[in-house]
Amino acid sequence: MLNLLNLVAFLFVFSIPTISFMPVFNNIVILLGFILGLVFLLVIFLSHRIITVPREFTIYIIWLFICLASAIVADDLKLTLIKLLTLLQIGVMFLILFNICVWNKNISVPLYAFLSAVIVNLPVALYQYHTLGIERPAGLVANANSLGLVMVLGLFSISIFYLTNILTQKNIRIFKYALWPLLFLCSYTAFLSGSKKAIIGVAFAALGFLYAHFQGVQGRFLKIISTLILGTIILFLVLNILNHSLVEHRFEEALEFFKARGYKSSVAYDSTSLRYAYAVAGLKMFQEKPILGVGLNNFSKNVKKFSPLLGAHETYAHNNYIEILACTGLMGFLTYLGIYMSIIFRITRGLRNNIETKGGKPHVLLMMVFVFLLFFDMAAVTYYEKIPWIWFSMITASYYQSSVIK
């Protein structure tokens, strides 16, 4: 039964970064999620397995109740309830994937599935850029920034495979060498996406890989210095080899904004000015309704009212922290941060307990993934996106399992 559950989980995770962004095929993802839940319950009843409920899930449920309370002050109750339904699905997905990883004693099932989805996204994105002439390819995830996120997480996936014995145990060592070109292709596609977050994420992945690789080196300072030097050299080479005018333009645009110390007119044309305007609007929303916010998923309904720019659109905050603070108030914001703090506590305790060398390398990489996702939240709204929560489930399960073994 566990093998059947693993198969359904693989298909479900694989479908999220591939077909879930297509309205026609999203029903298949929903069906797979339903089947996953059903098989999960069958495994529990037939195999007498025990469900482990991590504290992160408990905090998440408390946060959902606070989000429901925020509906009282929401301008559009329907928007709040629709988003709550999505969040409930994500919570169930998190709990199921967490338990699957715990029962298997590794994170191989969702990791294999996610890397397979990355491989499928690559030819689509490259075809969009080189054949269709799309300036910022979006791949199957239908968004350039999301494509960049997927590619960076793909880099981390490959690194985990290289630095662990997962492939060796499965007697498919040959694929370990076949994954080498993917390191280049994922980095290249991340640059093509034009996502500033993704480009910095490539640096995160490179440093994470190098630090984990030097895990066995004696001497903390030697390990850190070697990582920084090699990471800087690799990043310099990548930036020169993959020189991309769009990337340069977007970074220059951001630097110009900070040099000018803000936008120059009442109308914004660049993404940095718009993001700043959304952040200002979000903080003003919070000041007006500090306890429960303006209502979950109601940022777009209030952004024009509070934005200092005429060019602001009715959209989300482009910052996960600002979005949650504005929509769910201080109560929702602190509770949501409680999930992150709980994971940070697991990571800190796990690394402090001197996890054995064999398990230490993937744990360092998973720590780097989590740091990257926290950074990514500063320029994207991800609380209702399944991709980060897939990784949160893997990170939580991995550190939970190591603490149980310890």
* pLDDT (tens digit per residue) in 51-64: 999 999 999 999 99
Tokens matching residue 2 = 């566990």
Sequence-ordered list of residues with C-beta below 8 angstroms from that of 219, at least 6 positions apart, any chain: none
88: how many CB neighbours lie within 10 A of its CB?
13
**82-86, 204-208, 218-222, 309-313: least confidently modelled range:** 218-222
397 vs 102: CA distance, rounded Å: 6
In this predicted structure, what is the pLDDT of residue 184? 81
In this predicted structure, what is the pLDDT of residue 258? 57
Contact 295, 71 (CB under 8 A): yes
Sequence-ordered list of residues with C-beta below 8 angstroms from that of 385, at least 6 positions apart, any chain: 146
pLDDT band at 140 (very low <50, low <70, confident <90, very high): very high
What is the rounded average pLDDT of the residues 338-343? 96
93 vs 95: CA distance, rounded Å: 6
**pTM beyond 0.85:** yes
In this predicted structure, what is the pLDDT of residue 341? 95
Contact 156, 205 (CB under 8 A): yes
Q: What is the pLDDT of residues 164-208, one digit of tens each?
A: 665 455 555 556 666 777 888 888 888 888 888 888 888 888 777
324 vs 287: CA distance, rounded Å: 13
128 vs 220: CA distance, rounded Å: 44
Residue 266 has pLDDT above 90, yes or no: no
pLDDT band at 239 (very low <50, low <70, confident <90, very high): low
**3-7, 74-78, 402-406: least confidently modelled range:** 402-406
Tokens matching residue 328 = 């769910």
Who has greater pLDDT, 308 or 390? 390
Residue 131 has pLDDT above 70, yes or no: yes
How far CA 349 is from CA of 327, 343, 345, 355, in Å, comes to 32, 10, 6, 10
Q: What is the pLDDT of residues 350-378, one digit of tens each?
A: 777 655 445 567 788 888 899 999 999 99
In this predicted structure, what is the pLDDT of residue 317? 85
Distance of CA 203 to the CA centre of its chain: 16
73 vs 357: CA distance, rounded Å: 51
Tokens matching residue 345 = 């506590």
In this predicted structure, what is the pLDDT of residue 207? 77
> What residues does each domain of the chain span?
56-405
Who has greater pLDDT, 322 or 273? 322
How crowded is the C-beta side of 406, counted as CA atoms within 13 Å?
17
Residue 265 has pLDDT above 70, yes or no: no
In this predicted structure, what is the pLDDT of residue 191? 83
Residue 235 has pLDDT above 80, yes or no: no
Sequence-ordered list of residues with C-beta below 8 angstroms from that of 170, at least 6 positions apart, any chain: 108
How crowded is the C-beta side of 317, counted as CA atoms within 13 Å?
29
Residue 268 has pLDDT above 80, yes or no: no
382 vs 395: CA distance, rounded Å: 17
In this predicted structure, what is the pLDDT of residue 48? 84
124 vs 137: CA distance, rounded Å: 9
Distance of CA 334 to the CA centre of its chain: 20
pLDDT band at 37 (very low <50, low <70, confident <90, very high): very high
Contact 369, 90 (CB under 8 A): no
How far CA 204 is from CA of 152, 235, 295, in Å, comes to 9, 10, 34
Mean pLDDT: which of 20-29, 33-42, 397-406 is highest? 33-42
Mean per-residue pLDDT of the chain:
83
Distance of CA 35 to the CA centre of its chain: 24
User: Which one-letter DSSP state was computed for residue 214?
Assistant: G
Phi, psi of 139 (to 5 degrees): 60, -155
Closest-CA residue to 212 (of 393, 364, 55) = 364
142: how many CB neighbours lie within 10 A of its CB?
12
pLDDT band at 236 (very low <50, low <70, confident <90, very high): low
How far CA 172 is from CA of 154, 179, 210, 355, 361, in Å, comes to 19, 12, 24, 26, 20
